[in-house]
């Protein structure tokens, strides 16, 4: 009878570990995709002098689309208030593209990259999540 309890405990523990691994991969993939979109915008900034181009608008729209899609998934796993700064910065970026404010756009891109980088460090799976 004790073996049954050990087997149940082991299965529950392995199930929790699997959930944490899946959570970690979803969070990492979402934040890495956002960072990649920011890097694409930075590369485009180096090639153009004005923000009022179709390529820049498409890159910003892709950033917003990917973030909205990923944010819905992240809200199931992390506190929404922890990740809302990225959405706020993306809204600012859209405004900066419309007003052709390159310096403010660069600051917002750096802020998004900073948030993603810092969230990657503390949103991963850990022993506290399993327990």
**pLDDT over 60 at 130, yes or no:** no
Say yes or no to pLDDT of 8 above 70.
yes
**What average pLDDT score do residues 95-115 get?**
91
pLDDT at 119: 82
Cα distance between residue 116 and residue 31, in whole Å: 6
Q: What is the pLDDT of residue 80?
A: 67
Q: Which position has the higher pLDDT, 20 or 95?
A: 95
Q: pTM for this one?
A: 0.80
- What is the set of domains in the chain, with CATH numbers? 2-130 (1.20.120.660)
Burial 39-63 (b: 16+ CB within 10 A, else e): ebbeebbeeeeebeeeebeebbeeb
pLDDT value at residue 125: 53
């Amino acid at each position: 009878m004790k073996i049954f309890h050990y087997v149940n405990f082991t299965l529950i523990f392995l199930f929790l570990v699997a959930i944490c691994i899946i959570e970690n991969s979803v969070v990492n993939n979402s934040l890495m995709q956002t960072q990649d979109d920011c890097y694409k915008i930075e590369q485009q900034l180096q090639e153009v002098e004005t923000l009022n181009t179709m390529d820049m608008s498409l890159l910003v729209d892709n950033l917003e689309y990917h973030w909205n899609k990923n944010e819905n998934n992240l809200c199931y796993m992390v506190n929404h208030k922890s990740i809302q700064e990225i959405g706020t910065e993306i809204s600012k970026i859209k405004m900066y593209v419309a007003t052709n404010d390159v310096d403010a756009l660069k600051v917002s891109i750096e802020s998004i990259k900073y948030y993603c980088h810092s969230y990657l460090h503390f949103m991963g799976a850990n022993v506290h999540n399993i327990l």
